[in-house]
């Protein structure tokens, strides 16, 4: 497909303008300022009980009779299946490409305050669970708004759900998976030279079929697959990356200093200012760990528990694993490899870094990780979109959304990366508004519940 045609240029320009409008200073203040407020207002209590979160994850407090659908570990795995994805491979590369090394620093800041944000949002997702029209327990920002704030705030719940219908499509993940397959398989094949659309469509159709086999089984199947897939894929990726880091141990302090210095003095490719670097870092962190966006609340809201604080603590582990560990490793690998980020973008840049450092083995490991990361994200996001659909139109429309979702995977495989990321960025911004506003308004309720839980003698 000729993406230089007029129609695609218009779509690309429109989506870029809309995304830029949504990701202005007010939203950045809402996300980062809100996260900082939650951190200070909680008096760092969630951080002080980080070890307790892992006890919960190990199943120490699991009770099959508790309300909900999946275990704490499966809830975190389902959330990580969505967040530990192409945002960690292609998203970090995109941040460095557009914002320079300093963008990684602002990803860290966003993740640290995002841990507190996730604690608050996911505690609320259990406190204010609702039921769909079939009587099944559901959680998420739309139910938090409706149950916690009342009917007069319902427009916020509707805004979140409408944005979620599009924001939970995996346009970026499918696009980047298609890109890496194109780079490593189709491009060297003479048949596909000049027939890029044929190759991309083939990838999109195959991936759509695989995703269909899992997502039509609902959250229980997604949780089961994710709980087995996520630890494996993270281990494979981190192992390969650590091999590269060990080869450059003496250079790591210098790269770290470069990241910090560039965070305050560097120029972003897009915008050329400190403000644009901060926005790029926060956007990519939000895309990576979803703190404050609201999607994470939908996964954690399905956990089997009577204690909201427990799920809040479990959710807090997400940004730490996703951004502080996995995204940082990707960023360091790219910067240590010395590959030129001005020539390529997205997953191709990360692939070049791995190939440069580990040769064909590094390339193969990245392909395995990229496929696993992309598929796991596609499994998790389908659940989010189904919940938004159910809230707006009723549970019977979930299967219709699944068809729409699968079809979007095929479409995403042939559009440009800019269109894909701009659409999702804009929808994430719209989802963040009701999520953060409702959480700020109900923060006192979270602290009351926190004090009640940690005053017990059974911990």
pLDDT at 79: 62
pLDDT tens for 386-438 read 889 989 998 888 888 888 898 888 888 887 778 888 888 889 889 999 999 99
Could you give the CA distance from residue 35 to residue 291 in angstroms, rounded to a whole number? Answer: 9
pLDDT at 431: 92
pLDDT at 123: 92
How many folded domains does the chain comprise? 1
Strand partners of residue 303: 70
Residue with tokens 């644009």: 276
Highest averaged pLDDT of the listed ranges 242-251, 355-364, 441-450: 441-450
Has residue 95 been placed in a domain? yes
pLDDT bucket at 453, cuts 50 / 70 / 90: confident
- Give pTM, 2 decimals: 0.82
Has residue 11 been placed in a domain? no
Has residue 25 been placed in a domain? no
pLDDT at 217: 62
Domain CATH number, residue 364:
1.20.1740.10
Average pLDDT over residues 217-224: 59
Has residue 19 been placed in a domain? no
Has residue 79 been placed in a domain? yes
Average pLDDT over residues 70-78: 66
pLDDT tens for 256-310 read 998 888 877 765 444 455 556 677 677 666 656 677 888 878 877 777 778 888 8
pLDDT at 157: 93
- Burial of 264 per CB tally in 10 Å (0-12, 13-18, 19+): exposed
Average pLDDT over residues 37-57: 84
Has residue 255 been placed in a domain? yes
Has residue 422 been placed in a domain? yes
Average pLDDT over residues 319-330: 84
Q: What is the mean pLDDT of the chain?
A: 79
Has residue 264 been placed in a domain? yes
pLDDT tens for 145-189 read 999 998 899 999 999 999 999 888 888 778 877 877 777 766 655
Structural domain span for residue 71: 32-451
pLDDT at 213: 76
Closest Cα partner for 86 from 95, 98, 73? 95
pLDDT at 9: 79
Does 72 have pLDDT greater than 70? no
Could you give the CA distance from residue 278 to residue 104 in angstroms, rounded to a whole number? Answer: 9
């Amino acid at each position: 497909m000729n993406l230089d045609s007029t129609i695609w240029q218009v779509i690309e320009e429109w989506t870029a303008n809309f995304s830029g409008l949504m990701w202005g200073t007010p939203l950045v203040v809402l996300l980062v300022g809100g996260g900082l407020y939650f951190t200070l207002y909680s008096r760092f209590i969630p951080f002080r009980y980080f070890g307790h979160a892992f006890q919960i994850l190990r199943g120490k407090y699991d009770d099959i009779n508790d309300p909900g659908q999946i275990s704490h570990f499966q809830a975190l795995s389902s959330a990580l299946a969505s967040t530990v994805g192409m945002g960690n491979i292609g998203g970090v590369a995109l941040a460095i490409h557009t914002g320079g090394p300093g963008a990684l620093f602002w990803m860290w800041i966003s993740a640290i305050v995002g841990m507190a944000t996730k604690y608050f949002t996911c505690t609320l997702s259990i406190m204010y669970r609702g039921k769909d029209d079939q009587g099944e327990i559901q959680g998420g920002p739309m139910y938090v708004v409706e149950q916690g704030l009342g009917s007069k705030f319902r427009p916020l719940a509707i805004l979140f759900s409408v944005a979620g219908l599009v924001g939970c499509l995996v346009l970026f993940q499918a696009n980047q998976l298609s890109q890496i397959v194109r780079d490593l398989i189709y491009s060297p094949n003479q048949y596909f030279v000049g027939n890029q659309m044929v190759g991309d469509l083939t990838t999109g159709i195959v991936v759509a079929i695989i995703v269909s086999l899992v997502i039509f089984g609902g959250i229980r199947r997604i949780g089961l697959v994710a709980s087995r897939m996520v630890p494996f894929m993270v281990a494979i990726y981190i192992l390969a990356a650590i091999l590269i880091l060990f080869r450059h141990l003496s250079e790591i302090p210098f790269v770290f200093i470069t990241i910090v210095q560039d965070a305050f003095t560097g120029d972003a490719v897009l915008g050329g200012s400190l403000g644009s670097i901060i926005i790029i870092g926060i956007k990519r962190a939000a895309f990576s760990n979803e703190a404050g966006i609201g999607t994470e609340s939908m996964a954690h809201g399905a956990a089997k528990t009577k204690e909201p604080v427990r799920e809040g603590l479990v959710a807090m582990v997400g940004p730490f694993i996703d951004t502080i560990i996995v995204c940082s490793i990707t960023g360091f690998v790219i910067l240590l490899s010395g590959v030129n980020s001005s020539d390529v973008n997205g997953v191709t840049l990360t692939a070049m870094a791995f190939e440069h450092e580990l040769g064909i083995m590094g390339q193969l490991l990245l392909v395995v990780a990229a496929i696993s990361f992309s598929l796991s994200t596609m499994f998790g996001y389908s659940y989010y979109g189904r919940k938004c659909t159910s809230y707006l139109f009723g549970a019977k429309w979930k299967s219709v959304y699944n068809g729409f979702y699968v079809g979007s995977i095929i479409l995403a495989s042939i559009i440009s990366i800019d269109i894909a990321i701009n659409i999702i960025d804009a929808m994430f911004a719209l989802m963040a508004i009701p999520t953060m506003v409702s959480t700020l308004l109900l923060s006192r309720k979270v602290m009351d519940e926190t004090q009640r839980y940690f005053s017990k003698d059974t911990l």
